[in-house]
């Protein structure tokens, strides 16, 4: 019995319109505008090859490998189907639709269906549109831009060292042209999601250039996109300048470690370096849950499982709950988006796992308040106790413009000492800042101290440090005491 047969039986019994099998995605039953996953996990490349070899005619693989697609008939009992094998965005794909029983679908001597090639069709990809967007992505890499902004009716825009810069040598992008460009890099799952919700997130890789995190949306002008470049090489903690105290958090067997900051502050890159350190120094199982997968980690000392929300799992909370049954030692949650995800993350950290996560908060003390405030009032006391025991460290960071170009991270570091744990338990988080100021010998650093150090080392201008500081008055005093000119603040 072919592996496809059980899925076809579901297709018939549920009166579906089609069966969709794509490499690295679950099998989907399509009915009208809805689709339903039929397998719990994604189909691996080897599984897809096995399915295709069982049901498609000989020579199909060669046709698909050469850029063609093969259509064939397949019969299961009294039911007949039309299958199409092709590559979509570089992934092997099999689409199956029910058909009337054709005369050609006769069984062979063994009683098995005989597949017959009906036609060969080329893949439906707008190559010129793909080339156009690839050229822009190469230009983004050449100009060392962190983000590429694309808008209907406007020239492309780059974010370089924190500033938005127009690509003066590129023409404005017409609405239809931009839509074709973005559709050419969107997997079919994202195309469906975009049609239903008017926005979608995906990852795209350009060989020998970089990986990109892509958000596509609609606004009043039409379709638009923001594309962030992700370095193809995994960065290390040494390159990131992560302190030894923070590096030691990677040696923990359990606990919660949070990396926080505003959008575009480099949280993903810092987390990448910490996961890489775990990967190099331990022999454990690491599970990452991301949306989308950004940095791709190869197995070093550890086994790494990377899952993408929307492609390999339905949501962060579903994947985090499932991770507990997948023998993890370290779990990375790309974003603690909702109450249930936060709750499961804390419980996971309590039950003997090291959990890394991110939040969009600007300081370490505010991170603790944000977590607790998400819970109902009658649960906050219990959560404070759980958090005081499970939280091991918070790294809050922001990116500053460097003197001479580029950007550097200013990091506030909170480490869970007995004093900090007591303040969390007793709802005295407003006192955490003063404890951090007196605990520098333990590796704790306030954001103001980090900014002043960058100014002292000549990496950042005093005006930039002032702009990034949360406590403006305190940093002015600190800069003034170090002999820096702060007259710029008096003129504001």
Q: Does 434 score more than 70 pLDDT? A: yes
Residues 92 and 179 in one domain: no
CATH of the domain at 276: 3.40.50.300
Does 488 fall in a domain? no
pLDDT at position 120: 37
* Average pLDDT over every residue of 349-356: 95
Q: Which of 445, 461, 486 is the last residue of a domain?
A: 445
Select from 121, 147, 167 the last residue of a domain. 121
Query: Taking 50 as the threshold, does the pLDDT of residue 42 lie above it?
Result: yes
Q: Could you tell me if 174 and 316 lie in one domain? A: no
Predicted confidence (pLDDT) per residue in 46-82, tens digit: 888 888 888 887 777 777 776 667 888 888 877 888 8
| pLDDT in the model for residue 59 | 74
Pairing of the two strands 199-206 and 210-219: antiparallel
**First CA to last CA distance, the chain:** 77
Distance between CA 38 and CA 128 in Å, rounded? 35
User: Rounded to an integer, what distance in angstroms lies between the CA atom of residue 83 and that of residue 74?
Assistant: 7
User: Given pLDDT bands bounded at 50, 70 and 90, which one contains residue 491?
Assistant: low
Q: Give the percent of the chain with pLDDT over 90.
A: 60
Residue 115 pLDDT exceeds 50: no
Q: Over the stretch 260-292, which tens digit does the pLDDT of each residue have?
A: 999 889 999 999 999 999 999 999 999 999 988
Q: Is 332 exposed, middle or buried (0-12, 13-18, 19+ CB in 10 A)?
A: buried
The whole-angstrom separation of Cα 2 and Cα 26 is 18
Answer yes or no: is 464 within a domain.
Answer: no
For residues 358 and 259, membership in a common domain is answered with: yes
pLDDT at residue number 489: 82
221 shares its domain with 255: no
Long-range contacts of 451-460, Cβ-Cβ distance < 8 Å, separation of 24 or more:
451/400, 451/410, 451/475, 452/478, 452/479, 452/482, 454/400, 454/408, 454/410, 455/479, 455/482, 455/484, 456/482, 458/403, 459/400, 459/402, 459/403, 459/408, 460/400, 460/401, 460/402, 460/403, 460/408, 460/410
Domain that holds residue 178: 127-230
Helices (H), 14-44: none
Q: Would you call 107 helix, strand, or coil by DSSP?
A: strand
Same domain, 349 and 416: yes
- pLDDT for 492 beyond 70: no
Per-residue pLDDT, 100: 56
- Does residue 379 form part of some domain? yes
- For residues 380 and 334, membership in a common domain is answered with yes
Mean pLDDT of the region 203-213? 87
Q: What is the pLDDT of residue 123?
A: 41
Q: Which of 257-261, 314-318, 374-378 has the lowest average pLDDT? A: 314-318
* Tally of domains within the chain: 3
For residues 145-153, give the mean pLDDT. Answer: 95
* pLDDT more than 70, % of the chain: 93
22-31, 83-92, 150-159: which has the minimum mean pLDDT?
Answer: 83-92
Tokens describing residue 333? 């949650």
Mean pLDDT of the chain: 88
The whole-number pLDDT of residue 43 equals: 87
| pLDDT value for 80 | 84
Highest-confidence segment of 99-108, 185-194, 264-273: 264-273
Contact in structure between 278 and 250 (CB atoms under 8 Å): yes
pTM of the model: 0.71
Domain co-membership, 39 together with 137:
no
Higher-confidence residue of 293 and 250: namely 250
Tell me whether residue 344 is in a domain: yes
**Which pLDDT belongs to residue 111?**
41
pLDDT of 339 higher than 60: yes
Q: What confidence score (pLDDT) does residue 208 get?
A: 79
In this predicted structure, what is the pLDDT of residue 251? 97
Q: Is 191 found in the same domain as 293?
A: no
Would the pLDDT of 143 be above 50? yes
Q: How confident is the model at residue 125 (pLDDT cuts 50, 70, 90)?
A: low
Q: 255 and 191 in one domain?
A: no
Least confident of 44-58, 308-322, 384-398, 415-429: 44-58
Instruction: Establish if 460 belongs to a structural domain.
Output: no
- Show which of 52, 86, 121 is a domain's final residue: 121
Same domain, 146 and 193: yes
Are 157 and 113 part of one and the same domain? Answer: no
Q: Taking a C-beta distance cutoff of 8 angstroms, is the pair 216, 199 a contact?
A: yes
3-class DSSP state for residue 158? strand
Residue 465 within a domain: no
If asked whether residues 423 and 291 sit together in one domain, one would say yes
Determine which of 6-10, 40-44, 85-89, 142-146 has the lowest per-residue pLDDT on average: 85-89
Lowest mean per-residue pLDDT among 38-42, 82-86, 111-115, 428-432: 111-115
Asked, for residue 298, whether it belongs to a domain, the answer is: yes
Q: Which two tokens stand for residue 161?
A: 């060292």
What CATH number does residue 27 fall under?
3.30.450.90
- pLDDT value, residue 168: 87
Q: What is the pLDDT of residue 292?
A: 83
Has residue 427 been placed in a domain? yes
């Amino acid at each position: 019995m072919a592996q496809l047969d059980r899925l076809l039986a579901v297709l018939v019994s549920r009166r579906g319109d089609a069966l969709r099998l794509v490499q690295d995605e679950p099998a989907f039953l399509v009915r009208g505008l809805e689709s339903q996953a039929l397998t719990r996990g994604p189909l691996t490349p080897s599984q897809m090859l096995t399915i295709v070899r069982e049901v498609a005619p000989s020579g199909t693989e060669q046709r698909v490998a050469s850029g063609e697609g093969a259509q064939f008939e397949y019969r299961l009992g009294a039911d007949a189907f039309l299958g199409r094998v092709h590559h979509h965005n570089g992934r092997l794909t099999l689409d199956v639709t029910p058909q009337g029983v054709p005369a050609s679908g006769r069984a062979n001597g063994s009683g098995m269906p005989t597949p017959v090639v009906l036609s060969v069709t080329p893949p439906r990809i707008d190559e010129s549109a793909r080339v156009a967007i690839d050229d822009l992505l190469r230009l983004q890499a050449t100009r060392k831009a962190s983000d590429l902004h694309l808008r209907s009716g406007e020239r492309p825009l780059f974010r370089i060292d924190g500033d938005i810069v127009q690509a003066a040598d590129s023409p404005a992008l017409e609405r239809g042209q931009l839509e074709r460009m973005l559709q050419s890099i969107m997997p079919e799952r994202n195309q469906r999601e975009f049609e239903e919700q008017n926005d979608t997130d995906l990852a795209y890789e350009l060989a020998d250039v970089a990986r990109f995190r892509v958000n596509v949306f609609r606004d009043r002008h039409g379709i638009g996109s923001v594309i962030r470049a992700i370095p193809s090489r995994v960065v290390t903690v040494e390159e990131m300048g992560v302190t030894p105290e923070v590096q030691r958090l990677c040696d923990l067997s359990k606990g919660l470690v949070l990396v926080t900051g505003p959008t575009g502050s480099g949280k993903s890159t810092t987390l990448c370096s910490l996961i890489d350190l775990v990967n190099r120094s331990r022999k454990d199982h690491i599970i990452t849950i991301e949306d989308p997968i950004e940095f791709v980690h190869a197995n070093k000392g550890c086994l790494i499982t990377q899952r993408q929300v929307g492609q390999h799992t339905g949501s962060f909370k579903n994947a985090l709950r499932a991770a507990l049954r997948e023998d993890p030692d370290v779990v990375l949650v790309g974003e603690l988006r909702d109450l249930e995800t936060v709750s499961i993350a804390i419980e996971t950290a309590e039950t003997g796992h090291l959990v890394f996560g991110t939040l969009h908060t600007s300081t370490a003390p505010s991170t603790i308040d944000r977590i607790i405030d998400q819970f109902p009032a009658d649960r906050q006391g219990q959560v404070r106790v759980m958090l005081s025991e499970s939280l091991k460290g918070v790294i809050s960071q922001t990116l500053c413009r460097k003197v001479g170009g580029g950007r550097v991270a200013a990091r506030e570091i909170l480490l869970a000492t007995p004093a900090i744990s007591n303040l969390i338990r007793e709802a005295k988080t407003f006192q955490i800042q003063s404890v951090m100021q007196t605990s520098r010998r333990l590796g704790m650093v306030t954001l103001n101290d980090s900014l002043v150090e960058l100014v002292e080392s000549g990496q950042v201008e005093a005006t930039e440090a002032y702009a990034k500081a949360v406590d403006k008055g305190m940093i002015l005093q600190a800069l003034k005491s170090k002999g820096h000119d702060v007259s710029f603040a008096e003129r504001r």
